[in-house]
Every structure is written in structure tokens, then in C-alpha cells.
Amino acid sequence: MSMFDRAEVPIGTWLKIPAPEPVEILAHVGFDFVVVDLEHAPLSLETAYRIVNSAAALGLTPLVRVPDHTPAMIQKILDAGAHGLLVPKVDTAEQARAVCRAMRFPPDGERGAGGTSKAGRWGLRPAAEYYAQRPLCIPQLESEQAIRSAADILALSDVDAVFVGPADLSLSFGTTPDDAAVRELIGHAIREAKAAGKPCGIAFGDAPPVAAAIEDGCGFALVSNDTGMLAKAAGGLLERLRGVE
């Protein structure tokens, strides 16, 4: 079952720490999914593999943000057991189509057979079941060109959702995520996703704006990250301690 099949909007966070403990903590407190960040964190492929399988065993949907569109990287991450991928800097439907093909087996795509991998349960998974796998394909829309191409990207049958990166989107404008033009582009992406019947996800630094975004049509939310939560909790604790007379 896809994480998008549940009644409530899924809430997740980024994983950047190369250790198993953060994913265990996040599972115990009740997050719905995690995204192992291979784009902006010093995580090895082997570490990502360990985290992905810990998440799955604990009932979290394990997604991975790959560093690029390379088919070889995409295949390795899917063979490692990821339930889906966030793919950065997808600006056009042509780029999205290429990513989809890297994620799907023939005849729909070009993913190679790796039935003796984790995704194939080391060769124990029936071939028909292995080849029927359909990991989530989630292009990231991080430029004005990407947002303007949202309808064409979402029209691809193998695209399951899209994700808007407010930070990179605002950088492309030389402004901030709160800029009116950026907010309008995010709203455009949400509207196009709703029209296509697919979720549009957004990243948030903290929890307060999430409820309003969900009301506006946000289909899944990524809130903070493991390092950010640790930094905020540690800083707040120390501030409170030092404030004690």
C-alpha cells in the first residue's frame, strides 16, 4: 500500500545523520515516512541501505532523495529496498520521463533485473511480484521552469506525486521562500497537482505552517530534519538552563 492511500496527509522528515538511531526515534514518535537525503548529506550508499531497511522494518515508508538523475544510482537505491525516490531538479516533462524510465522495468522502462537484491528478497521473491513493483516516482520542482511544466510532468502516468522545494525555488529568484512570487508558484504547483489527482508535497522548517498548507491542498509534508531537530532541542534546553536564576 502506498503512503498516499491513507486517509490523513502523510508527515515525514529528512534523514541526514549516518546512523540508525534517528530513524528508530522517528518511528517510535509516529512519523509516517522518512526521506534519506543523498543530495545534501554525507551519507554513503551502504548507510542509506541500512537506514532504508530499518525504516521499513519499523513501519515507516522509506523514501530516498537521490543526488542526480543517473540511472545507475537510481537502480542501486531501488535494489536496496527504497519504496520511492525524490529526484531533484526536474525541470521538464522530458527529464521526468527519463527518470520514470530509470525506475520502471521493461517494457515501461529501462531498470535492470536485480532479483537477488534486497528488493527481490535475495531471490526469494516470486519473479512476477518483483517485476510488478512500482516505487513512488516524485520529481522535485525547484525552478520557475519546473513549476510552469508541472501540468505536463504530472500528466505522466509513472509520476506519482511532485515535491516543491521552496528554498531552491526562491534561490532561483534571488529571494526568500516568503516572497509573494514564490508563494504564487507553489500555489500553482498545488493547483496543478489537485487537477491531476496527485499529491504535491512541500518542505517546512517547522510545524506551524503545515496545517494551513494542508488546508490549501498540500498532499504530503516534510518537516525539519534529524539534525535540525537535535540542534533546536539542544539549543532550547541550554537556553532554558542558562535562563534559570
Name the active-site residue from 28, 40, 69, 188.
40
- Residue 193: which region, alpha, beta or left (left: phi > 0; alpha: psi -120 to 50)? alpha
- What is d(CA 52, CA 20) in angstroms, rounded to the nearest whole number? 10
Q: Would you mind telling me the total number of residues written for the chain in this entry?
A: 245
Torsions phi, psi of 63, nearest 5?
Answer: -110, 160
Nearest to 77 by CA among 48, 110, 51: 48
Clarify whether 69 is annotated catalytic.
no
Nearest to 220 by CA among 34, 55, 48, 51: 34
Q: Which residues are catalytic?
A: 40
